[in-house]
Amino acid sequence: MTDATELRRRTKELLAAHPPADTDRLDFLRARFDAGLAWVHFPEGLGGLGAPRSLQAVVDAELEAAGAPDNDPRRIGIGLGMAAPTILQYGTQEQKRRFLKPLWTGEEVWCQLFSEPGAGSDLAALGTRAVREGEEWVVNGQKVWTSSAHLARWAILIARTDPDAPKHRGITYFVCDMTDPGVEVRPLRQITGEAEFNEVFLTDVRIPDAHRLGEVGDGWRVAQTTLNNERVAIGGMRLPREGGMIGPVAKTWRERPELRTHDLHQRLLKLWVEAEVARLTGERLRQQLVAGQPGPEGAGMKLAFARLNQEISGLEVELRGEEGLLYDDWTMRRPELVDFTGRDAGYRYLRSKGNSIEGGTSEVLLNIVAERVLGLPAEPRTDKDVAWKDLAR
170-178, 308-316, 341-349, 359-367 -> range binding ligand FAD (CB under 6 A): 359-367
Contact 194, 334 (CB under 8 A): yes
Q: Look up 184 and say whether it is catalytic.
A: no
Q: Which helix (H) or strand (E) holds 32?
A: helix 25-34
- 151 to 210, contacts with ligand FAD by CB under 6 A? 197
Q: How many CB atoms lie within 10 A of CB 195?
A: 16
Residue 121 binds ligand FAD (CB under 6 A): yes
Residue 128 binds ligand FAD (CB under 6 A): no
Q: What are phi and psi of 33, to 5 degrees?
A: -60, -50
- CB nearer to ligand FAD: give 11 or 128: 128
Residue 127 binds ligand FAD (CB under 6 A): no
For ligand FAD (CB under 6 A), the number of binding residues is 18
The least CB distance from residue 219 to ligand FAD, in Å, is: 14
- CB nearer to ligand FAD: give 120 or 166: 120
Residue 226 binds ligand FAD (CB under 6 A): no
Closest CA to 53 of 67, 39, 34, 74: 39
φ/ψ bin of 221: left (φ > 0), alpha (ψ from -120 to 50), beta (otherwise):
alpha
Q: What are phi and psi of 184, to 5 degrees?
A: -115, 125
51-59, 181-189, 245-253, 356-364 -> range binding ligand FAD (CB under 6 A): 356-364
- Residue 139 makes CB contacts below 8 A (sequence gap 6+) with 128, 129, 130, 157, 159, 174, 176, 182, 202, 204, 205, 206, 207
Residue 79 binds ligand FAD (CB under 6 A): no
29-37, 142-150, 168-176, 207-215 -> range binding ligand FAD (CB under 6 A): 142-150
**Residue with the closest Cβ to ligand FAD?**
120
Give the separation between CA 153 and CA 141, rounded to whole angstroms.
19
Residue 146 binds ligand FAD (CB under 6 A): yes
Contact 140, 162 (CB under 8 A): no
13-21, 62-70, 102-110, 140-148 -> range binding ligand FAD (CB under 6 A): 140-148
Residue 357 binds ligand FAD (CB under 6 A): yes
Of the residues 54, 140, 203, 367, which one makes contact with ligand FAD according to CB under 6 A: 367
- CB nearer to ligand FAD: give 147 or 225: 147
The least CB distance from residue 234 to ligand FAD, in Å, is: 10
The least CB distance from residue 27 to ligand FAD, in Å, is: 30
The least CB distance from residue 117 to ligand FAD, in Å, is: 8
Q: Could you write out the DSSP letters of every residue in 347-393?
A: HHHHHGGGGGTTTS-HHHHHHHIIIIIS-PPPPP-TTTTSBGGGS--
Give the separation between CA 40 and CA 50, rounded to whole angstroms.
6
Angle at CA of residue 174, ends 301 and 228, nearest 5°: 10
Of 62, 196, 230, 316, the active-site residue reads: 230
Residue 142 binds ligand FAD (CB under 6 A): no
Q: Strand pairing of 197-208 and 136-144? A: antiparallel
Give the separation between CA 126 and CA 230, rounded to whole angstroms.
19
- CB nearer to ligand FAD: give 230 or 316: 230
For the annotated catalytic residues, the residue numbers are 230
Residues that bind ligand FAD (CB under 6 A): 111-112, 114-115, 120-121, 145-147, 197, 354, 357-358, 360-361, 363-364, 367
